[in-house]
Structure 1
Amino acid sequence: MRSPNMETFKQEKVEDFYDIGEELGSGQFAIVKKCREKSTGLEYAAKFIKKRQRQASRRGVCREEIGREVSILRQVLHPNVITLHDVFENRTDVVLILELVSGGELFDFLAQKESLSEEEATSFIKQILEGVNYLHAKKIAHFDLKPENIMLLDKNIPIPHIKLIDFGLAHEIEDGVEFKNIFGTPEFVAPEIVNYEPLGLEADMWSIGVITYILLSGASPFLGDTKQETLANITAVSYNFDEEFFSQTSELAKDFIRKLLVKETRKRLTIQEALRHPWITPVDNQQALVRRESLVNLENFKKQYVRRRWKRNCESDTEEDIAKRKALHPRRRSSTS
């Protein structure tokens, strides 16, 4: 595979080829705007990523990290994964021209529903699993699976099409190469990330377990009052299925979550095992009936959804937070450093 530093981007003005429109969203170092390709009239999303100007600076994203994201996006083509169309570069930014995913976030869509069975819920979970299965078959770990990165292509159909987005933390896992890092959103990270242990595809499976738990109940399995409490809950695998939130949840669904929220990575469900789990793929009519008759706790989901939207900007790890956490492990080194 080509090195992230070797990735080539068009050194032309993006504005010469695309009409740049309204802002769709923004992050710490990126802004996403709607755009229209002048030659075809087709609409895309332009992600402007601010480049780090000096190695010692904490502002912007270093060229190697942007190169890694582009390298991964150039390798992927799957119905449940966002598609990269083009890449431009100027003095201050790298601009990714991406497939326009206009249906909003999955959780936004679910919060508008009046009722939701587990059968309907699994139709979304299965799409997430299929996207991750494609990535894992290519030895690509997403490392940032969370509700904000699970989007809908179009929400105006009964079962909208899921798209996994934001590959800023994604990494190719190479055999025999140890990779360690501390990154991601605390609520969704696996114990091996918190403990600064070697990372692999298994970290994504833990995140899917957390997402499924939240989707079914509205509650979050490890979220504490502080970031430190959340991380301590994760490393202790301290969670339960509170009857207040899970009274209408099937044992099949709980079993699926239990087998994902396993501290020992070798015992955690792989993506293939998750797809074969009877909650996702029932093996008889009884299991199918259980899914149909079990309900998602939408009342609590909606209540917590409002709180989650309000808190969202406080949830992500900043670079300062990461630096502080790394200081707790002074003798260990990431293989990428």
Structure 2
Amino acid sequence: MTPINGLKIIIVGKTGNGKSSLGNTLLQGKVFFESDDFNAATAECQLEQNIPGLTVVDTPGLFGIMETDKNVKQIRSNALSIIRSLDICCQPHAFLFTLNGACRFTDEELSVIDVLTIIFGKEWIDHAIVIVTHIGNDVKESDFKKKWNRCEKLKKFVKDCNGRICRIDNRNPQEEHVSRILHFVNQVSLNGKRPYSAKYIDCRKKVLQNEDKLEEYNGMPSHLIIKEIAQDIQTMIANEIKNEELHRRLLQQEKEEKEKLAKLAAFEMEKKISKTVSTITASGLSAASVACIAYAASPFAIAFCCGGAVVAIGISIFTWRRNL
């Protein structure tokens, strides 16, 4: 069996694709509720673990079975729910993207990929593994490959995932199929050493919360609406990132300017002290007079005796801080 200690997995996909069942298969127990129909069984992200140390997060499904305006309008709330998976499972090692092998791989079905890219950024694909559920164990591997190869968009996505695609029959899971999934999890995470990095996740939350188009529906197929929204959001995220970078640079410039002023003030103070020392040394004042002068300059006066010549230096901390 493939080593799984410490691995963290997030399962994503459309409603009805067997995410909860897959989670139960991986954890070898009934820990996630499974729906008997195509209605969503998971409303919020749920994290479960097993004894060997495998962590699995089940997420709400994206879209329903029917393409309706309600599905499109729910994208915002579902996306924000799914993004919270990173709050309960930070730095996951892999994303298992589920597809229902009993259904045809349509553009609507695969538009979920665009939504997940909106949520997690393009970086999620580096940690993505395609899991085709509802594939009976009697289906030949060659027939399974022919099935998913007929869909160009899925074929391209599998290529983007470096060929990481698995099959599973959650009703009667085979150990070889489960081992293949965990093998890929280890592969994408370098045996748990390279987790997914959630770049600009706060920025993505902000954009999702403020994207009005997610509440619109104009009768277009959902995958076309998602594609349009994805482009808009990517543009807004790019602008947000630019603004964050500009703000960071301004803060850095302000910090550097303060440091520069502080060094200049310190240099000026050193010049004043040096001048005072030279004046006192040249004047040949008595020790008592020097002490009086030093005290008048500051209560923190330091007197040095060197070779019979008395040198007194008065340093005013109050004045120095005020100049800084």
TM-score, reference length from structure 1? 0.28
Highest CA radius of gyration, 1 or 2? 2
| Greater fraction helix | 2
